Amino acid sequence: MIKDNPFVFGRAAEGTYFTDRIEDAKRLSANLTHGINTILISPRRWGKTSLVKKVINETDRPDIKFVFIDIFDCKSEYDFYHSFANEIVKQTSSKIEEWVETAKTFLSNISPKFSFGTDPMNDFSLSFEWNPKDNTEKEILQLPQKIAQKKKLRLIVCLDEFQQIADFFDSITFQKKLRSVWQHQQEVTYCMFGSKKHLMENIFNERSMPFYKFGDMMFLKKIPTEEWVPFVCDKFQETGKTISEEQVAKICELTENLSSYVQHLAWIVWYKSDKVVRNKDIDNAVNDLLEQNNVFFQREVEQLSEFQLNFLKALANGVSSGFSRKDIIKKYRLESSANVQSVKKSLLKKGIIDIDEQTVTFDDSIFKLWMQRQRR
Ligand SMILES: Nc1ncnc2c1ncn2[C@@H]1O[C@H](COP(=O)(O)OP(=O)(O)OP(=O)(O)O)[C@@H](O)[C@H]1O
Ligand SMILES: [Mg+2]
């Protein structure tokens, strides 16, 4: 019997918290262990990080080593090089002496300095003199290949939140530098993943961009209701509670199968219910979830222009394409077709909507529900 929370959200789902994605895991694992660079894309909180971690945890090959780097906090090229060097050195060595040795051997030109905290195994950081003339950047980008060769290993470097690099100053020049070094690395495979489809697609799908056709592009889909139903039912059962299949389907419907919200809502239903879940428990749980997000959504809305808000009202009302039609423009006061285009663009940039072909959707299904209920 599980004593812990039967559900997880807000961090990667691992082990028994992970469900489905069998085909995705197979493809990603086959790609990475056979040297195929892979780009993994989905909207936020669908399960990219969880999937990559699953593949890392399940790959049992002594000749392969994974390095996982989250670049979410990197705001500049310099931050990127810094994290990259640190994580590559740290995650390919098991002892402190080895770190120091690796860094000294392969980053000799840039005189690395070390600092250790109270827990040297985890609290370790590398810094270096920054001198572009000395080829600092190249030396850092070559690090994985050199380490792989020396240790006779294949390295798989996973870069989470990769869309971040699009915001760096002079990003295209930076991307060119990365590609020009990485494309020659025989022993290193890259897995780049991130949200903001339009940014990721711009990096990897535009003919004029340095990373064009750098690897296999995988677009993650939502976990379907048929997969969530047994998963959620079992979690309740294991903890001595009962939820019906219809009730789980209702949770999926309300959250539009957005992975993180399915788990979050299931958790609220779970802790609120007695032994047997009543439909009322689900209604209450949704209200709780909306309530928890209220301040956040309110703030989001306050930062929108009137046209942006009108657009979202139309979207919440069921319009998903054809926003430039005369009747839609008139009904939702969107002014003009040109205005619709610019509103779409700005909402996409803010990460509030996603656009697939011509269809527009809310990035956040609970925000959509909140908008719908506001209007009543
Ligand atoms: N395969 C899965 N099985 C069960 N739950 C999952 C799965 N994948 C994701 N989740 C749920 O979704 C949440 C978010 O997952 P994860 O952090 O992997 O998504 P992400 O796409 O990397 O998000 P972000 O874009 O914010 O980085 C998890 O905490 C978990 O609740
Ligand atoms: Mg993630």
Nearest to 178 by CA among 157, 154, 197: 157
Q: Are residues 144 and 55 in the same domain?
A: yes
Q: What is the pLDDT of residue 135?
A: 79
CA of 21 to the centre of ligand 1 (A): 11
Q: Are residues 186 and 81 in the same domain?
A: yes
User: At 219, phi and psi to the nearest 5?
Assistant: -105, 115
Token pair 């940039």 in the structure block, residue: 349
Q: What is the CATH number of the domain that holds 349?
A: 1.10.10.10
CA distance 73 to 261: 24
Q: With respect to residue 242, please indicate whether it lies within any of the assigned structural domains.
A: yes
| DSSP letters for 333-352 | T---HHHHHHHHHHHHHTTS
Domain boundary among 271, 299, 327: 299
Cβ atoms of residues 42 and 349 within 8 Å: no
CA distance 234 to 270: 12
Domain boundary among 219, 244, 272: 219
CA of 67 to the centre of ligand 1 (A): 20
Q: With respect to residue 9, please indicate whether it lies within any of the assigned structural domains.
A: no
Q: Are residues 185 and 108 in the same domain?
A: yes
CA distance 251 to 232: 10
CA distance 54 to 17: 11
End-to-end CA distance of the chain: give it in Å, rounded: 43
Residue range(s) defining the domain that contains residue 196: 21-219
Q: Is the pLDDT of residue 113 over 90?
A: no
Domain boundary among 193, 219, 245: 219
| DSSP letters for 116-184 | E-SSTTTSEEEE----GGGTHHHHHHHHHHHHHHHHT-EEEEEEETGGGGGGSTTHHHHHHHHHHHHTT
Q: With respect to residue 192, please indicate whether it lies within any of the assigned structural domains.
A: yes
pLDDT > 70 in the chain, percent: 97
Q: Are residues 235 and 345 in the same domain?
A: no
Q: Which atom of ligand 1 is nearest to the CA of 11?
A: 29
- Tell me the per-residue pLDDT of 2-32, one tens digit each, with 9 for 90 and over: 457 899 999 999 999 999 999 999 999 999 9
Q: Is the pLDDT of residue 338 over 80?
A: yes
Q: What is the CATH number of the domain that holds 293?
A: 1.10.8
- Tell me the per-residue pLDDT of 187-217, one tens digit each, with 9 for 90 and over: 999 999 998 888 898 999 999 999 999 999 9
Q: Which atom of ligand 1 is nearest to the CA of 160?
A: 27
CA of 218 to the centre of ligand 2 (A): 15
List Cβ neighbours of 97 (8 Å cut-off, separation of 6 or more). Answer: none
Which residue has the CA at smallest separation from atom 9 of ligand 1? 47
CA of 184 to the centre of ligand 1 (A): 33
User: At 260, phi and psi to the nearest 5?
Assistant: -65, -40
Q: What is the CATH number of the domain that holds 215?
A: 3.40.50.300
Q: Are residues 194 and 213 in the same domain?
A: yes
Q: Are residues 86 and 196 in the same domain?
A: yes
Q: Which atom of ligand 1 is nearest to the CA of 161?
A: 27
Cβ atoms of residues 190 and 159 within 8 Å: yes
Number of domains within the chain: 3
Best residue for ligand 1 mutational test, from 26, 50, 199 (most atoms within 8 Å of Cβ): 50
CA of 5 to the centre of ligand 2 (A): 21
DSSP 3-state assignment of 9?
coil
Q: Which amino acid is at 125?
A: S
CA of 200 to the centre of ligand 2 (A): 14
Q: With respect to residue 367, please indicate whether it lies within any of the assigned structural domains.
A: yes
Q: Are residues 121 and 138 in the same domain?
A: yes
Q: With respect to residue 14, please indicate whether it lies within any of the assigned structural domains.
A: no
Cβ atoms of residues 46 and 259 within 8 Å: yes
Q: What angle do CA 219, 223, 227 make, to 5 degrees?
A: 145
pLDDT band at 104, cuts 50/70/90?
confident
Q: What is the pLDDT of residue 211?
A: 97
Q: Which atom of ligand 1 is nearest to the CA of 10?
A: 29
Q: What angle do CA 138, 142, 148 make, to 5 degrees?
A: 170
Q: Are residues 111 and 199 in the same domain?
A: yes
Q: Are residues 127 and 80 in the same domain?
A: yes
Q: Are residues 69 and 209 in the same domain?
A: yes
Q: With respect to residue 7, please indicate whether it lies within any of the assigned structural domains.
A: no
Q: Which atom of ligand 1 is nearest to the CA of 44?
A: 25
Taking the whole predicted model, whether its pTM rises above 0.85 is answered as: yes
* Ligand in closest contact with the CA of 262: 1
Cβ atoms of residues 32 and 188 within 8 Å: no
Q: Which residues line ligand 1 (CB under 6 A)?
A: 8-13, 17-21, 42, 44-50, 195, 259-260, 263
Q: Are residues 239 and 199 in the same domain?
A: no
Q: Are residues 131 and 91 in the same domain?
A: yes
For 298, other C-beta atoms within 10 Å of its C-beta total 11
Q: Is the pLDDT of residue 355 over 70?
A: yes
